[in-house]
Amino acid sequence: MAIVAQTSKYGKTGRTILAWAVGLLFFFPIFWLVLTSFKTDADAVKPEFLFFFTPTLDNYLNMTENYDYWRFAKNSVITSVFATVFGLAIGIPCAYSMAFNPSRSTKDVLMWMLSTKMLPAAAVLYPMTFLTKSLGLFDTHFMVILVLCLINLPIVIWMLFTYFKEIPKEIIEAGQMDGVNTWGEIKEILIPLAWGGIASTALLCFIFCWNEAYWTVRLTTIDASTLSKLIEGNRAPEGLFFGRLSAVSAAAVGPIIVLGWFCQKQLVQGLTFGAVK
Amino acid sequence: MSNRTLPRLLQSPAVLLLLVWMLIPLSMTLYFSFIRYVLNNLRRPEWTTPSLSNWRGFGNYEFVLNSKDFLFAIQNSLFIVCSILFLTVSLGILIAVLINKTFPGQGIVRVLLISPFFVMPAVNAVLWINMILDPVLGLQGIAVGGINEVISGLRDAPLIGWFFSLWPELTPISFRATQTSAYAVIIMVTWQWTPFAILIFMTSLQSEDQQQKEAAILDGASNWSMFRFLTLPHLGRPIAIVVMIQAIFHLSLYAEIEIVSRGNGNKNLPYLIGEFANNNIGAASATGIFAVILANIVAIFLLRMVGKTLME
């Protein structure tokens, strides 16, 4: 360690400054979005008010009036929450049996599940539109929840599987000895033990559902539209509404960024399917 | 229940759902790709409903292969994906190495760096193309205007004025043209996904063998050779994983293209399918099958590369 300490003091200061500069640079667009959201639409495009301006909350207060924000936000919450809950309800038993009663085909099944993620969504765009319309499910919460749940299911199962694998088999087997049935094993032993893993899986699944922007845009018109659709629909404000558009955008991403801060460690394990620890 | 039925039973809902989700729409796409199926056609109303009597064989595939949009869309898809992969991986490695050693505020910098990853794609695109890259009203326009003003002010200055009068007037770049909007998409997606690469490389760097490094320092190894011969090989597996996951996500990139480039010709495969799907379902389906084939080629290639590591 003595050698490491010899690195010059200037080198360390330089590294610190550079690291901070890179961090601030990456965060800048988000900062800019939030800053613009406190400007009036007129001020937002004036060079003289770039950093110094009279802040206003109007853009946030008028979000309902301007964009009907809360309706879309409500849809986002409903669809993301239910998709996550269903994903866990289907995923936990599946990952449980894969982790504790693996068969020869388990690995292949897991790989196959992953491969469903590689199917380009656009390839089935029209059949999906056709099916949902003919089943009367177009623009319904049910359809959005189903789709969000299914596109995230492989990731949910993979994540849960990597967490469950870490639990010693003996603990589960001890439960079996005591005559606990499968449902009891999952409820009494597995869920309390893997609580952290399940929570971070849920969090990540929720974030992915919230940010999804293909099916939520393509399979809805008004009733079940989420925030992605709202923003997409107001893509080109021509500079007229930078202030209010920034406010509604900041309100759409803010909660998720904060949630994301809490699960950045789990993100690595989740997205790399446990291959990088 | 026997030891074997129960696991199957627990897995079956997930497996069945995914099977249905995958097979039904995909087989419909396959079917539509072989028939004439056009949503609005007054002269041939029989083509507006799917039916086997409208069989076209490989006609849709021929039509798609002969349209000049298709080749462009494939080239553009690959150009966008490869540029993003190159930028995110190289930036990711550099930044991960930079912030891996402890320094004051490391935790905060980490949080700042990871934030872009959680921004929803629609907001990402709207924010960049309007508030930042717009040539007149965005930051780019304002910055270029400001620089021009400063330069023109300096032209009148004594002594150094002649130097600045040699400078050209800067013009802001419009990111809404065909080619430049591809760059805009690359910029915004790189901004969003570099944090992901950083996070994974950092996690991996923490498990790097420190003793090996100290030994290398004792042997008088330079920083560069340590990076080249110790750190980079150590990052091999995470790089493969970052490339795989990003390739999966970016081949189906859509929201950014739709928002930045609507109607300006900057297409990728998903966007082209969306365009066809407004009317010519046969062509949209044939393009979809091509997209599936392309994704499979990439997936097989990538899974060969990292499949084994995933299963360890």
Write the DSSP assignment of A71-112 as a string of letters.
Answer: HHHHHHHHHHHHHHHHHHHHHHHHHHHHHHS--TTHHHHHHH
Cβ-defined contact of B13 to A271 (cutoff 8 Å): no
B114 at interface of A, judged by CB pairs closer than 8 A? yes
With beta carbons under 8 A apart, name residues in chain B contacting A111: 303, 307, 310-311
pTM, 2 dp: 0.88
ipTM over 0.95: no
Domain boundaries, chain A: 1-67+234-252, 70-232
Q: Tell me the pLDDT of chain B averaged across its residues.
A: 84
- Any chain A CB within 8 A of the CB of B145? yes
As a whole number of Å, the CA-based R_g of chain A is 23
Residue A180 with chain B: CB contacts under 8 Å: none
- Amino acid in position B161: G
Cβ–Cβ below 8 Å for A256 and B118 = yes
Q: Is the pLDDT of residue B307 over 70?
A: no
Q: How confident is the model at residue B1 (pLDDT cuts 50, 70, 90)?
A: very low
Higher pLDDT, B80 or A236: B80
Q: Identify the pLDDT of residue A3.
A: 44
**Is B204 a residue whose pLDDT tops 80?**
yes
Looking at beta carbons, which residues of chain B come within 8 Å of A127? 24-26, 28-29, 32
Task: Take residue B38 and report the two structure tokens written for it.
Answer: 């056009």
Query: Which residues in A lie closer than 8 A to residue B200 (C-beta atoms)?
Result: 268, 271-272, 276
A28: confidence class by pLDDT, cuts 50, 70, 90: very high
Delimit the domains of chain B by residue range. 68-125+179-311, 134-174
Q: How far apart are alpha carbons B170 and B180 in whole angstroms? A: 17
Residues of B in contact with A94 (CB under 8 A): 10-11, 13-15
Q: Buried b vs exposed e over B184-208: b needs ≥16 C-beta within 10 Å?
A: bbbbbbbbbbbbbbbbbbbbbbeee
pLDDT at A239: 61
Choices 3.40.50.300, 3.30.420.10, 2.40.50.140, 1.10.3720.10: CATH for A70-232 = 1.10.3720.10
The minimum CA-CA distance between B133 and chain A, rounded to whole Å, is: 11
Question: Which tens digit of pLDDT belongs to each residue from A47-93?
Answer: 777 777 888 888 888 888 888 889 999 999 999 999 999 999 999 99
Q: Measured between CB atoms, does B127 come within 8 Å of chain A?
A: yes
Per-residue confidence band for B82, with pLDDT thresholds at 50, 70 and 90: very high
Residues of B in contact with A20 (CB under 8 A): 105, 109
Alpha-carbon distance B233 to B222, whole Å?
16
Three-state secondary-structure class, residue B38: strand
Q: Check whether B312 has a pLDDT greater than 70.
A: no
B289 touches chain A (CB under 8 A): yes
Q: A-contacting residues of B 4-43, CB under 8 Å?
A: 4, 6-8, 10-11, 13-15, 17-18, 21-22, 24-26, 28-29, 32
Q: Can you name the residues that pair with B271 across neighbouring β-strands?
A: none
> At A5, is the pLDDT very low, low, confident or very high (cuts 50, 70, 90)?
very low
CATH code assigned to B68-125+179-311: 1.10.3720.10
Q: Which two tokens stand for residue B160?
A: 């150094």
